[in-house]
Chain A
């Protein structure tokens, strides 16, 4: 059962454009939604995260938009750069104590010059 659905699975964006990756979740108990960035040969690295009590969080060129009623959240990468080319995973978990993290399937982003 895929509890976090992520789309698209691959994305090609021109340099300077906006990259948008979407995720939807099913479990309403989730209260922590991180995004991870993974470069080839490396482990995933936390990029940005949001809690459901806010609708948007921005860090530099990266923004998470969160729609609690629709159970959806998305990552926007503004002014996309070739160095942003990586695989991006959305995830969800229940914060507090140990709770396993459920990952989306991943989006392979390629930013072309």
Chain B
């Protein structure tokens, strides 16, 4: 199955700043997905990143707040912009692994102070 490297694994950030999270996959994939997991909650899809086109955002998430890049078939970044304490969450990237299902990175635990 695909192996996903996500970094940073955790960060503590000041409100009003931005953080960029990187996701590297060891194989080429068409779609990469970004999720948010708030403390004690389930996973919520933020957006889907397709190489060569703009990301598709789910209801409640906007590009200005969560800009995404997808420069090639193995890499994507998610930026959390102008952060507030409400953005404190775990952010996860995921890919669809043929025959296996969806594989997740180990996540980025973000705390905004």
Whether chains A and B associate is yes
Residue ID in chain B nearest A34 by CB atoms: B101
Interface residues on B, range: 20 to 34
Residue ID in chain B nearest A48 by CB atoms: B101
- Mostly, the A contact residues are loop
| Bitwise interface map of A from 88 to 113 toward B, beta carbon under 8 Å scored 1, else 0 | 01000000001011011110000000
CA of A32 to CA of B6, assembled, Å: 26
- Give which listed residue, A43, A49, A100, contacts B92 with CB less than 8 A: A43
- Give which listed residue, B42, B96, B105, contacts A98 with CB less than 8 A: B96
- Give which listed residue, B42, B102, B109, contacts A46 with CB less than 8 A: B102
- Mostly, the B contact residues are strand
Does any Cβ of B come within 8 Å of A52's Cβ?
no
Does any Cβ of A come within 8 Å of B45's Cβ?
yes
Interface size, chain A (Cβ < 8 Å)? 18
- Chain A residue numbers with a CB within 8 Å of B58 are 100
- Chain A residue numbers with a CB within 8 Å of B30 are 98
- Chain B residue numbers with a CB within 8 Å of A44 are 43, 92, 104
- List residues of chain A with CB under 8 Å of any chain B CB: 32, 34, 36, 41-46, 49, 89, 98, 100-101, 103-106
24 pairs from A and B in contact (CB 8 Å cutoff): A36-B104, A42-B106, A42-B107, A43-B92, A43-B94, A43-B105, A43-B106, A44-B43, A44-B104, A46-B101, A46-B102, A46-B103, A89-B42, A89-B43, A98-B30, A98-B31, A98-B96, A100-B48, A101-B45, A103-B43, A104-B42, A105-B41, A106-B41, A106-B42
